[in-house]
Amino acid sequence: MRGYTYDTEARREERALLVSLVTDESRRSGVDPRISLEELVQLAETAGVTVAGTAMQNRDVPDSKWFVGKGKALELKELVRAEELSTVIFDQELSGAQVRNLEEALDAKIIDRTQLILDIFAGRAKTREGILQVELAQLTYLLPRLSGQGKNLSRLGGGIGTRGPGETKLETDRRHIRGRIGELKRQLETVQAHRQLHRERRRKNGAVQVALVGYTNAGKSTLLRQLTRADVLAEDKLFATLDPTSRQLRLPSGKEVLLTDTVGFIQNLPHDLVAAFRATLEEANEADLLLHVMDASSPMRDRQREVVDEVLGELGASGKPTLLVYNKIDLLPDADEELLAGGPETLRISAFREADMERLLRSIEDKLLGGVAKLKLPASRGDLAALAYRVGEVLSQMTEDDWLVLTIRLNAGDMEKRGRPLLPYFAESESSAGAGGAGAADGMATANAAKTSDN
Ligand SMILES: Nc1nc2c(ncn2[C@@H]2O[C@H](COP(=O)(O)OP(=O)(O)OP(=O)(O)O)[C@@H](O)[C@H]2O)c(=O)[nH]1
Ligand SMILES: [Mg+2]
């Protein structure tokens, strides 16, 4: 039998066959199995595997022993032998028993979609939190698959590449793994509490936060780089980004906001995994505005958009002010561009066009700034005037007798945090661009009316 230890060299030489089983259940899910398999090819390539070919089988339900039908298993065995393949990767999740049976029968390493994604994550996590999360997800995946039988556990742990729950850890028993899971959870709690503190401090400082979210490979990191001139890794690979990266972003008015890149989403991501990355995605949850970046050139773009919306829903971030950004428009023929769904809140851009970046910045600003309002302050209250400059952009300023009249384009978020002393002085509010802005501006007008009737 093969020894399943992999170094980078071996990883490069890995040649795999990719297999998808189409069942009644998967047909009901509405996910096109060919598109999913196509994505599996990209995932495998991202993991450094050479894809030798793909195969599909239709069956009402998976075979409990072999997952695919027995005849298909024999066919695969023949292929593995003839093509000298090292690995067979399945597009669906396999049970521990199925992995063992197939490994024995095909004499190849068997990996499923989840494990492949976990392997990619393991190779890419950089921060302590990311590394802990990946190990936790890997062990959670592994545990129910260790159904006794005294097999060498390292065989199950041997995914693509060597990182992840290292072989030494896996040679020990389940109890050890459970212990490790508990330990990882505790460590994560500490790291996350720390991050929470950090976030709260950021909030207190009044930093307005914008988060880039979207399907993997949509161009989020590229946009972060183009918009902030930051040196951020962007690659034509799935899951290039695992750890959230934040950079200062200067809007056209000169206002600075914090722009955060997040891990990309993918369909059929097991729930455990989503949970594992929940903390990372909390950055999205905390944001004042989401930029939902889509790859307009992908034939799967509508499905991808749904997947992202679903995950955002699970995170409790669905109601957030969101700007839909169709990216990579340069790859589309003009005629196709019109087919893109979306209303006035939708932007069509190419990350590589300077003019589009300026347009995007303006849209972010419009979306963030909650509307225009007039503020009438007693000229003696210079302290309040200073505050006014901090809650938005002052568009004009004039004096009327003993009053100072300011027209301000408000930032709704800031207003809530720091604008309380100003509330009674707002004379009127005009148009409001942002979602949160309308409410805030109304509130101010009302507060003013109450004040006026007092006098
Ligand atoms: N043609 C074209 N390519 C783009 C555009 N934006 C990004 N790309 C390319 O798309 C690929 C993926 O970009 P990334 O920025 O890494 O994507 P991401 O959304 O951060 O991906 P993950 O971190 O994997 O979730 C890279 O090769 C980019 O150069 C665009 O507007 N036009
Ligand atoms: Mg990225």
Question: Ligand 1 centre and the CA of 357: distance in Å?
Answer: 15
Residue 162 has pLDDT above 50, yes or no: no
In a domain, 100, yes or no: yes
**Which of 212, 217, 304 should be mutated for ligand 1, with most atoms under 8 A from CB?**
217
Give yes or no: residues 116 and 51 share one domain.
yes
Phi-psi region at 243: left, alpha or beta (left = phi > 0; alpha = psi -120 to 50): beta
d(CA 115, CA 102): 15
Looking at this predicted complex, what is its ipTM?
Answer: 0.99
Does the Cβ of 245 fall within 6 Å of ligand 1? no
102-120: per-residue pLDDT in tens? 999 999 999 999 899 888 8
Query: Do 220 and 131 lie in a common domain?
Result: no
Taking the CA of residue 216 as reference, the ligand 1 atom at the shortest distance is 25
Same domain for 215 and 200: no
Q: How many domains does the chain have?
A: 4
Q: Is the distance from the beta carbon of residue 220 to the nearest atom of ligand 1 less than 6 Å?
A: yes
Return the CATH number at 334: 3.40.50.300
Q: How far apart are CA 454 and CA 150, in angstroms?
A: 82
213 and 344 share a domain? Answer: yes
Order of strands, sheet of 403-411, starting from the edge strand that comes earlier in the sequence: 392-400, 403-411, 369-378, 426-429
Distance (Å, rounded) from C-alpha 350 to C-alpha 455?
55
| Residue 243 located in a structural domain | yes
- pLDDT greater than 80 at residue 374: no
Q: Is the pLDDT of residue 364 over 80?
A: yes
pLDDT for residue 60 is more than 60: yes
Q: How far apart are CA 247 and CA 262, in angstroms?
A: 12
What is the pLDDT at residue 363? 87
Kindly state whether residues 100 and 235 are assigned to the same domain: no
The response to whether residue 262 sits with its C-beta less than 6 Å from ligand 1 reads no
Q: How far is ligand 1, taken at its centre, from the CA of residue 233, in Å?
A: 10
How many C-beta neighbours within 10 Å does residue 236 have? 9
Pairing of strands 403-411, 369-378: antiparallel
Closest protein CA for atom 24 of ligand 1: 239
Q: So what's the pLDDT on residue 195?
A: 78
Mark whether 348 and 212 lie in a shared domain.
yes
Q: Do 142 and 109 belong together in one domain?
A: no
Residues 328 and 307 in one domain: yes
% of the chain with per-residue pLDDT over 90: 31
Is residue 231 over pLDDT 70? no
Helices 354-368 and 220-228, axial angle in degrees (round to 10): 90
One domain, residues 195 and 263: no
Which whole-number Å values give the CA distances from 308 to 260, 291, 311, 318, in the listed order?
Answer: 17, 12, 5, 10
What confidence score (pLDDT) does residue 447 get? 30
> Rounded to an integer, what distance in angstroms lies between the CA atom of residue 425 and that of residue 429?
11
223 CA closest ligand 1 atom index = 15
Q: Is residue 453 part of a domain?
A: no
Strand 209-214 to 289-295 pairing: parallel
pLDDT of residue 402: 85
Residue 359 has pLDDT above 60, yes or no: yes
Q: What's the whole-number mean pLDDT along residues 304-324?
A: 86
Ligand 2 geometric centre to CA of 238 (Å)? 8
Q: Is residue 162 part of a domain?
A: no
Instruction: Give the residue numbers spanning the domain of 215.
Output: 207-369
pLDDT tier at 171 (50, 70, 90 boundaries)?
low
> Are residues 293 and 325 part of one domain?
yes
pLDDT digits (tens, 9 = 90+) for 398-434: 888 888 888 776 655 555 555 556 666 665 544 333 3
User: Pocket of ligand 1, candidates 42, 224, 231, 235: which has the most ligand atoms within 8 Å of its Cβ, to mutate?
Assistant: 235
Confidence of residue 450 (pLDDT cuts 50, 70, 90): very low
Residue with the larger pLDDT of the pair 251 and 327: 327
Of the ranges 32-46, 132-146, 235-249, the best mean pLDDT one: 32-46
Closest ligand 1 atom to 218 CA: 19
* Among 120, 220, 222, residue to substitute to test ligand 1 (most atoms within 8 Å of Cβ): 222
Domain at 25, CATH number? 3.40.50.11060
Structure confidence at residue 439 as a pLDDT band (50, 70, 90): very low
pLDDT exceeds cutoff 50 at 48: yes
CATH number assigned to the domain comprising residue 385: 3.30.70.240
219 Cα–ligand 1 center, Å: 3
Yes or no: say if 318 and 312 are a contact pair by the CB < 8 Å rule: yes
Q: Identify the weakest region by mean pLDDT among 2-11, 116-125, 271-280, 396-405.
A: 2-11
Is residue 65 scored above 90 in pLDDT? yes
Output the pLDDT for position 150. 39
345-to-20, 342, 360, 367 alpha-carbon distances in Å: 38, 7, 11, 9
Using a 6 Å cutoff on CB, does residue 240 contact ligand 1? yes
Q: Are strands 392-400 and 403-411 parallel, antiparallel or unpaired?
A: antiparallel
Q: Look at residue 78 and tell me if it is in a domain.
A: yes
AA letter at 306: E
Which of 66-80, 203-217, 263-277, 364-378 shows the highest mean pLDDT? 66-80
In a domain, 440, yes or no: no
Same domain as 332, residue 388: no
Q: What is the pLDDT at residue 244?
A: 65
pLDDT digits (tens, 9 = 90+) for 127-138: 788 888 889 888
Q: Is residue 455 part of a domain?
A: no
Q: Counting atoms of ligand 1 from 1, which one is nearest the CA of 327?
A: 31
Report the pLDDT value the prediction gives residue 376, as an integer from 0 to 100: 81
Percent of the chain with pLDDT over 70: 71
**CB of 218 closer than 6 angstroms to any ligand 1 atom:** yes
Quote the ligand 2 centre to 215 CA distance (angstroms).
10
Q: What is the mean pLDDT of the chain?
A: 77
How far apart (Å, rounded) are the C-alpha atoms in residues 431 and 447? 18
Torsion of CA 110, 116, 119, 123, to 10 degrees: 130
* Number of C-beta neighbours around residue 278 at 10 A: 16
Mean pLDDT of 257-266: 84
Higher pLDDT, 274 or 49: 49
Question: Is the pLDDT confidence value at 187 over 70?
Answer: yes
* pLDDT over threshold 80, residue 3: no
Q: Which residue has the higher pLDDT, 88 or 362?
A: 88
- pLDDT band (50, 70, 90) for residue 9: very low
The answer to whether residues 260 and 286 belong to one domain is yes
What mean pLDDT is predicted for residues 304-319?
85
Whether 62 is in a domain gets the answer: yes
